[in-house]
Amino acid sequence: MITFMNNSDSEEEPCNERTSLMSAESPPVPSYQDGLQPSEAGEVQAHRKRRTGSSRSPNNIADGNMSDSGVPVREGTLENEEEELTLKYGAKHVIMLFVPVTLCMIVVVATIKSVRFYTEKNGQLIYTPFSEDTPSVGQRLLNSVLNTIIMISVIVVMTVFLVLLYKYRCYKFIHGWLILSSLMLLFLFTYIYLGEVLKTYNVAMDYPTLFLVIWNFGAVGMICIHWKGPLQLQQAYLIMISALMALVFIKYLPEWSAWVILGAISIYDLMAVLCPKGPLRMLVETAQERNEPIFPALIYSSAMMWTVGMAKPDTAARGPSQQTWDAAEDGREDHRSPSHTDSQMSETRSPVPTRPITSFEELEEEERGVKLGLGDFIFYSVLVGKAAATASGDWNTTLACFVAILIGLCLTLLLLAVFKKALPALPISITFGLVFYFSTDNLVRPFMDTLASHQLYI
């Protein structure tokens, strides 16, 4: 989902790093508290919208308006400006998501095409116990459906467990869980990946060097992801761990099960995000009620943020500096310029910060960023990687799936701008991806092969 919601679903392994509640450590921005008290009245609906808004700026802007519900007179003009902002920034946000998704897919496809380890059959996860080595098609189909059911149930159980933990404020437990899973991803999976890459290219590396490299990579990764670090480094690490996770799935999920699981998880995503009692929806609502940032470490944030923030922005000083900055931006920021007396405005600017440190300008900038759950990255890459691995060496299929996923993402963002509520990012992209995979592999490939053999061009 295009909010952080999808992070917490699809938790296949107990120590899967998918959600993080760094909010346990990060205090809410004090400067906002002043602004928040008077707006408590409008909070409930504001929170419902703010939940969605926390992940992409059009919705953040939408939230600004929703939280203005206490001041209806401004609603009209702000609506228009909000729409402008939505579209003005719409294209930029789409590209801000295209780039990391593309990078993740490129890493996965490059690895799949070059390192044979990830396409070798070497056992299966315990979550997919049924083997697909049966001779009959019906049996194979049945096994893959059973595998899917088991996998999805595991995911649902994990998500519900996580939501319960969060609801009952077991932050330490969640925190520990997440640290453990990032440790595993950053150290163990990276070690395996590096080992396989070195084997593929027949490069020798001694253990001390290996230890140094892995240690540095992992330690910096832990710090960047869970604490502070330059935004781009954090983004790079998130992309890398998504790619690693996707590679694990591609290796260990049997073929038919993988496709059925992809389909099933899009349906699950759709339900978990849009149904009123969906676990993800409840999770975000709870976080919004508590006014805590949700899972900052496991959402990909494309916001342009300053790296080391100012600890406690001086409320008096930030007003004018904010305005000058705004003026530099676009000159239409009047309705958004903060005045600390303006409670509604300050409320808009307390969406989910990705970093515990907050400075006013940071969050202002951050609003214009977009956030996408790592689960989405992972499943997009699984789809494209599986296409690269199993489409009989055909690059056209991979390319077609890639374009299909990007267009799905674009459409999802468009729908987001239209509906201004949380939307799952998986369904449209995965549907397009699946349709294009099967049709390109079975219909387009013979056509293009025939054309190529006669050197015909269309």
The DSSP secondary structure of 152-164, one letter per residue, reads HHHHHHHHHHHHH
In 229-309, which ranges are continuous DSSP H helix? 231-252, 255-274, 279-289
Binding mask 348-387 for other proteins (x = CB under 8 A): ----------------------------------------
Angle at Cα 89 formed by Cα 70 and Cα 100, nearest 5°?
120
What is the rounded CA–CA span in Å between residue 160 and residue 280? 8
Indicate if the alpha-carbon torsion angle 321, 325, 328, 331 is positive or negative.
negative
- CB 286, CB 162: distance < 8 Å: no
Which of 94, 225, 272, 372 forms a contact with other proteins (CB under 8 A)? 94
Compute the least distance from the CB of residue 62 to other proteins, in Å.
Answer: 14
Complex with other proteins: residue 95 or 308, whichever CB lies closer: 95
By the rule CB under 8 A, 393 interacts with other proteins? yes
By the rule CB under 8 A, 410 interacts with other proteins? yes
Residue in this structure with the two tokens 């699950």, named with its chain if needed: 268
φ, ψ for residue 422, nearest 5 deg? -60, 135
Complex with other proteins: residue 114 or 134, whichever CB lies closer: 114
Compute the least distance from the CB of residue 85 to other proteins, in Å.
Answer: 10
| Subset of 238-297 contacting other proteins (CB under 8 A) | none
The DSSP secondary structure of 387-407, one letter per residue, reads HHHHSTT-HHHHHHHHHHHHH
Q: Which residues are catalytic?
A: 269, 376
In Å, how far from its chain's centre is CA 299? 5
Binding-site size for other proteins (CB under 8 A) equals 39
By the rule CB under 8 A, 76 interacts with other proteins? no
Compute the least distance from the CB of residue 446 to other proteins, in Å.
Answer: 7
Selected range binding other proteins among 5-13, 65-73, 82-90, 257-265, rule: CB under 8 A: 82-90
Around Cβ 326, how many Cβ atoms within 10 Å? 18
By the rule CB under 8 A, 232 interacts with other proteins? no
What is the rounded CA–CA span in Å between residue 453 and residue 449? 6
Question: What pairs with residue 372 in β-bridges?
Answer: 300
Selected range binding other proteins among 64-72, 287-295, 314-322, 392-400, rule: CB under 8 A: 392-400
Selected range binding other proteins among 9-17, 166-174, 372-380, 393-401, rule: CB under 8 A: 393-401
Binding site for other proteins (CB under 8 A): 83-84, 86-88, 91-92, 94-95, 98, 332, 393-396, 399-400, 403-404, 406-407, 410, 436, 439-440, 442-444, 446-448, 450-452, 454-458
